[in-house]
A and B are shown apart, each in its own frame.
Chain A
Amino acid sequence: MKRNVLVVVAVLVVLSLAANAGTISGKVSGVAGESVVYVEAPAGKTFPAPTQQPVIDQKGLMFHPHIVVVQQGTTVEFLNSDSVAHNVFWISIGGNKKLGHNMGTWPKGEKRPFKFDNPGAVPLLCNVHPEMSGYVVVAPTAYFALTDKSGEYKIENVPDGSYKVTAWHEGAKNQTKPVAVAGDSKADFTLSK
């Protein structure tokens, strides 16, 4: 009997959530390649940091993947898979140069973690291989997506409501626009450099 009640409650909770959560989808155009779209944090609302720790690898003198999107508060691990020395540093986060940081040097096979507590784009660089380039885009909420190469994206499980949604692309100006989410919503962006 007790078990049946729990199942019913769970089903009701799921149905209730599904009824109040929608998606934001659309296309980022004006630029080529992958972009990032994320929902800005509503005033006064915070999101618990996730426990997953994505890994950015340095392999063949490149950052893999080139762009990683994480929620604010996420710890990212930086791996060196090359048999040459690398380092990882960034001069700013979201354009704020006070948040620049240098992670130093570590040998092949080792990882170093860093917790990103501030939102914004983090341009990753290596001081001995200046051609190396990568990005961590720190989103202020759990609602974000990396577009495919054609610019299409879909952010799921966004609670109904009114938000500001921002599109970011490497080397382009960010674009932010208001989006009202009620079920499936559309938001297209056209970025320029």
Chain B
Amino acid sequence: MDTRQRVSLFFAFIFTVVLLTGSSYAIPAFSRQYGTSCSTCHVNFPKLNDFGKAFKDAGFKFPKDDETFIKVPPVMLGAPAQAELWPHTIFPGTIPGLPPIGLRFNTFFQVLGKNRHNFNLQLPAGQVGPFIPRTDFQPGLFSIFMAGNFGSDIAFWVDDDISVGGSGASGGLGDGYLKFVNIGRFFKLPANVLSMRVGQFELDLPFSPARSWNLSGWDIYDQANIGTSSQNVNNSFALSSAAQGVEFSGGHTYRGYHYSVAVVNQNTSGSSASPANVSPQVGFVSDSNFKDLYGRFSYRFNLERDPASRNETQAAGATGPRDHTYLTLGTLYFYGRSVQRATGVESDGTTKTVITAREPFYRVGADFSFNYRKLNLFGQYLVGRDHNLIPLTPEGFELPVGFIRSNPVKFNGGFVEADYMIHPWLMAIMRWDGVTSSADRINGIGADAGNPPPSPFLSPFRSARNRFTPGVQVLIHANIKTSFEYQIRPQQIVYDPATGNAITNPFRTNSAVAGLEWVY
């Protein structure tokens, strides 16, 4: 079977599935509550349309007249008139009339290129690398997510990947937070200039890795900063990591300005303590006293000619409401202080932390998103930099006594993606991811940056990793989606830094991934 036949077979399969299924609509938590389809808020779930962004900004409510749209009345936790008795009574609130539960499951099939074992060739003689199967069926995540509004503009969200790590394994909390929307009203501030979110949440990134519609994540958001063997940086923080803390935000994501400022836990080592001498005994997520800072600012220019339409949640198209033509420009900044605790063995044989390096690091980025009718073109550029403090052990000393500042550890990169809605149920995707990092430089061997090898252009010495990912996503129903992407990785070769001779054949592996997911 040649490539053309395989492609034809694949699309025939999708077409058959579409034809054989009837019509119904998704009913996750908000669908049930409002009696409306997923496509009210999503272009192609979980990608939000303009109305979905406004719904989220408002605290999981319709931006105006929310109560007129709710099909299942909320349960009153106090009559509204009780509010006038406060502080002599509990302030009245509501809970959703139905348990606001949504469930999501996905499953995958992937095929890897023939060169998938080439990277093992650089291993020392006698060492066997991992076996990588050519094809693989993978169960994905079974996630439960709950969200809604408790009245008084207090929104909540909790999601948990129940099936993380396989059968019987403990789950992983995604986001779990309360958001106090529009608290600026207590300070006589204009509407929507100040909200507060508390709990565990994904940082307010321009494009959400946690709720990405792609099969594979954007590489730059998963990028940790790991130094080479001569550097003392091992920062496991990635922007896609869940953060715990408090966030203040304001503005809108569907028009005008939007900002957020967050103070979150510092934990770049990935370790946590659970001491017995702190009562009540709780675990700790931080690995230092310092709290990291994150900020984001963006401005969205809605470009409709009609001023009235420009300021509405959705543009008034000739054949119905649609997303605006817009250009969003944004920037983000993260500042933290990575901790490296150096341990040593003293003359009496005891091992202890003898010195602690607090290495400031930052991530700074710029992003854009341009939308015109069915085309959404967007991208992110990001730079990461960690101070690199090398433990100094002077002659005559057994243990390090201080640090010397050395070359910082850096990475940069980003992505550009184009999504095109061929039909409301069919989205074509083309995307480029690129990362240049020290972490890639140490793929297998230490590199000598001062003595780079000859061509090919792309090699580990340049520490660049690129990926082109064309894809297609098909909504079988509004709540069932099948996705396909082909990840093309330009070939790279590992060279012996001493001789310059190639010690592996091209090892970057192309892969094809098909996914099926549904929410209900």
Which residues from chain A sit less than 8 Å from chain B, CB to CB?
59-61, 82-87, 89, 102, 104-107, 126-131
Contacts and interface: CB of A to CB of B under 8 A. Distances in A.
A36 B25 CA distance: 27
Contact of B321 (A83, A86, A131): A86
A61 B40 CA distance: 10
A129 to B, nearest CB: 6
Contacts of A86: 320-321
B73 to A, nearest CB: 12
A105 B323 CA distance: 13
B476 to A, nearest CB: 14
Closest 3 pairs between A and B when the two form their complex, measured CB to CB: A87-B320, A85-B321, A83-B64
Given A82-B68, A84-B62, 9 more contacts: A84-B51, A84-B69, A89-B319, A102-B318, A128-B314, A128-B322, A129-B37, A131-B25, A131-B36
Nearest to B25: A131
B34 A85 contact: no
B307 to A, nearest CB: 13
B316 interface: yes
Contacts of B63: 83
B320 to A, nearest CB: 3
Interface of B: 25, 34-37, 39-40, 51, 62-65, 68-69, 71, 308, 312-314, 316-322, 478
Contacts of B69: 60-61, 82, 84
A104 B40 CA distance: 17
Residue among B34, B71, B313, B317 with the most chain A CB within 10 A?
B317
B313 A85 contact: yes
27 contacts: A60-B69, A61-B34, A61-B35, A61-B40, A61-B69, A82-B68, A82-B69, A83-B64, A84-B64, A84-B69, A84-B321, A85-B313, A85-B320, A86-B321, A89-B319, A102-B318, A102-B320, A105-B320, A105-B321, A106-B316, A107-B308, A107-B316, A127-B319, A128-B40, A128-B320, A129-B40, A130-B478
A130 B39 contact: yes
Contacts of B308: 107
A117 B478 CA distance: 35
Contacts of A84: 51, 62, 64, 69, 313-314, 321
Contacts of B36: 61, 129, 131
Contacts of A106: 316
Contacts of A83: 62-65, 68
B37 A85 contact: no
A86 B490 CA distance: 47
Contact of A89 (B35, B64, B320, B478): B320
Contacts of A82: 65, 68-69
B316 A104 contact: yes
A127 B424 CA distance: 10
Contact of A126 (B65, B320, B478): B320
B35 A102 contact: no
A129 B63 CA distance: 16
B274 to A, nearest CB: 49
Contacts of B40: 61, 128-129
B35 A85 contact: no
Contacts of A59: 68
Contacts of A89: 319-320
Contacts of A130: 25, 37, 39, 478
